[in-house]
Chain A
Amino acid sequence: MDTAAWLSQLKRGLLELFVLNLLESESLHGYELVKRVSSVDGMSVTEGTIYPLLSRMKQDGLVKTTYLESSTGPMRKMYQLTAAGRQCRREMNRIWTQVSASVQRAINSTSQHEEA
């Protein structure tokens, strides 16, 4: 099995959950989001993957954009969660917690069998 392809798919799937959680506490601009995601262990993705995702999330009404004055150049586009985005984040967090716990249990039981 091609684990590299699997990992890439996994990261891609988790990216939306990650972005939703990053935006829960504060508004961020695209570049800052890219840096935050890239700085997380195991979540390094090609930087450009986040922009189409943000665009789709905006189309879906999960995030909205506002413009903020910047002292260094043109106005910055800030992303923030909408009410629908918050709802989606809660739901995805709940599912992820369940799934990851189940996967962890499966891994633990396999490990015990292997040790036995």
Chain B
Amino acid sequence: MKTVSIEAKRLEFDYLLRLHEALASVDPSQAQDISENVEEHLRNAVAEVPGHAVTSADMANILERLGPPEAMVPRSGNARPSAGFSEPSRPRPANIPTRQVCEEDLDALDRMRTAWLVCVISVYIPVIQLYLCSMIGTALLISPVADVRARTGLFTGVRGLAVSQIVLMALLTFFSALALIAPLLGILSALLGISVLIIGLMLYWKFLGSLSRLVAKYGRDDVSRRIDSIRIVYLIIICVIMGGAFMVGMVMAASGHGQSRRESLELQLLEPLWAIPLGWLLGWIFIMRPIAWAREALIEKRTS
């Protein structure tokens, strides 16, 4: 890590300030693009300075090679009219993506919605305990997430979690089947089951967090806050349900309930009656609705 002297930092700060002033009349998306590049350039140039310390002379040299900030203003005629008889254009907050980017984000959101829909529908259905539908749903999430990430830098880590989830679910399916022959493997299955649950929650948490930041990029802080709130509520609800289920299990085990084969079978048969509607309800409220809010926000931005 380089030590940058205060004087060098001041030179850098002054330069970036001049750059932002120079780019004030430029299309916001272009201005942001250039600012990002210059900031990245400065980071790289500072890293290449020999030695551990960056002096003001080093910084002045870097900035001189970079050229005056005023020269960074594109000459393509995208600058807004500075004065005169034309109507003043409505100021747009910086960072708002262009219409084309908005279209691409909407398309990705549609594909993410389909992926989550598959996951939500298949959740808790004992008939497909093989997790096949969940695996398909999670796999469907990878491509749109990668697209948005490549474009915006958001959704970092979501793809990795989705891949881990698929691998874990495949392993769980495999070891669950083996556990029928070798009951000791049931312990491994249980551990894998817990991992699937934890990774699933992390995936959900990361996904909704990224969704919230995506919406914020479009200037819809209200929707972003709503999504952030709902993911916290979901986490609390899941923790309460899991904690409750664990407590019930412990109580039943202590009292000897559910131990007989018949009772165990009855419990398994009763599970879909409450688990499926509950799973769908939670999925609809905590996953599908936030995605719908994000889509609505983007559609509004596109039409405006």
Interface residues of A (CB under 8 A from B): 29-31, 34, 46-49, 51-56, 58-59, 65-67, 69, 72-77
Contacts and interface: CB of A to CB of B under 8 A. Distances in A.
A55 B41 contact: no
A55 B78 CA distance: 11
Among A29, A31, A76, the one with the most B-chain Cβ atoms within 10 Å of its Cβ is A31
Interface stretch (B145-153, B162-170, B179-187, B264-272): B145-153
A30 B39 CA distance: 11
Given A31-B44, A66-B150, A67-B152, A55 B30 contact: yes
Given A59-B30, A75-B153, A48 B74 contact: no
A6 B44 CA distance: 31
B76 interface: yes
A72 B43 CA distance: 10
B103 interface: no
Nearest to A59: B30
A34 B41 contact: yes
Contacts of B29: 59
A46 B75 contact: no
B247 interface: no
Q: Is the interface of B mostly helix, strand, loop or mixed?
A: helix
Interface of B: 27, 29-30, 33-34, 36-38, 40-41, 43-45, 47, 65-69, 71-76, 78, 149-153, 156
Contacts of B68: 48
8 contacts: A30-B37, A31-B44, A46-B66, A51-B38, A56-B75, A59-B27, A72-B47, A73-B43
A49 B38 CA distance: 11
Of A46, A52, A77, chain B has the most CB atoms within 10 Å of the CB of A52
B37 A51 contact: yes
Contact of A48 (B27, B72, B75): B72
B67 A49 contact: yes
A30 B151 contact: no
A53 B75 CA distance: 9
Contact of B66 (A47, A52, A59, A76): A47
A57 to B, nearest CB: 10
Given A51-B33, A52-B75, A55-B37, 19 more contacts: A30-B37, A31-B40, A31-B44, A51-B34, A51-B38, A51-B41, A52-B34, A53-B74, A54-B37, A55-B34, A56-B30, A56-B74, A56-B78, A59-B27, A65-B33, A67-B149, A67-B151, A67-B153, A73-B43
A77 B66 contact: no
B41 A49 contact: no
Given A46-B67, A52-B72, A77 B152 contact: no
Nearest to A69: B156
Given A31-B44, A48-B66, A77 B30 contact: no
Contact of B71 (A31, A34, A46, A77): A46
A51 B68 CA distance: 12
B76 A59 contact: yes
Which of A47, A48, A69, A74 has the largest number of chain B CB atoms within 10 A? A48
B41 A52 contact: no
A67 B66 CA distance: 23
Contacts of A48: 38, 41, 66-69, 71-72
